[in-house]
Amino acid sequence: MNLAARGVFTEFGQRYKSSTRVFIDAGVYDEFVQMIARLAGRCREECEKRQQIDGTQLEKILEYIELGKKEGAQLVCGGKQHGKQGFYVEPTVFANVRDEMKIAQEEVGGGGGRNIVGL
């Protein structure tokens, strides 16, 4: 479980090795979601180093976050722009993501890596 959790935010997608979707056994699901949320909180300082490519991409990511909420995914943490300057997004974790949701079907990244994780 620790390896899967660390794979989510490793390099924030900079080297295309981060997980953006993780399938978890129901028996450990709640514990895993809490673990990912704690890790996202610790990674928050790192997001200052992982700027999105531009304001257009930042808006696209924020739109995906809103869409995830509208489609019924549970926002566990993050989901907002980080800071007042630059194009930073807080590490964002969604729980209860279903296969038919756009955040499960499409890549949500933009130069600063994949900041949204669906569980």
Q: Please give the pLDDT value at position 48.
A: 53
- How far is CA 67 from each of CA 26, 72, 90, rounded to the nearest angstrom? 25, 9, 16
Q: Please give the pLDDT value at position 36.
A: 82
Q: Please give the pLDDT value at position 15.
A: 46
Q: Please give the pLDDT value at position 16.
A: 46
Q: Please give the pLDDT value at position 111.
A: 46
The tens place of each residue's pLDDT in the chain, 119 residues long, gives: 666 666 666 554 444 445 667 778 889 888 888 888 888 777 666 555 567 778 888 899 899 999 999 999 999 988 888 888 888 888 888 899 998 999 888 877 654 444 566 66
Tell how strand 74-77 and strand 92-95 pair up: antiparallel
Q: Please give the pLDDT value at position 113.
A: 44
Q: Please give the pLDDT value at position 40.
A: 78
| Residues sharing a CB contact under 8 Å with residue 60, sequence separation 6 or more, in sequence order | 108, 110
Find the Cα–Cα–Cα–Cα dihedral 114, 116, 117, 119, rounded to 10°: -150
Q: Please give the pLDDT value at position 25.
A: 86
- Domain that includes residue 102, residue range: 2-118
Count structural domains, the chain: 1
| Six token digits for residue 14 | 């900079």
- 3-class DSSP state of 104: helix
CATH number (domain holding residue 94): 3.40.309.10
**DSSP letter (8 states) at residue 87:** S
Q: Please give the pLDDT value at position 71.
A: 96
- How far is CA 10 from each of CA 39, 47, 51, rounded to the nearest angstrom? 10, 12, 15
Q: Please give the pLDDT value at position 19.
A: 60
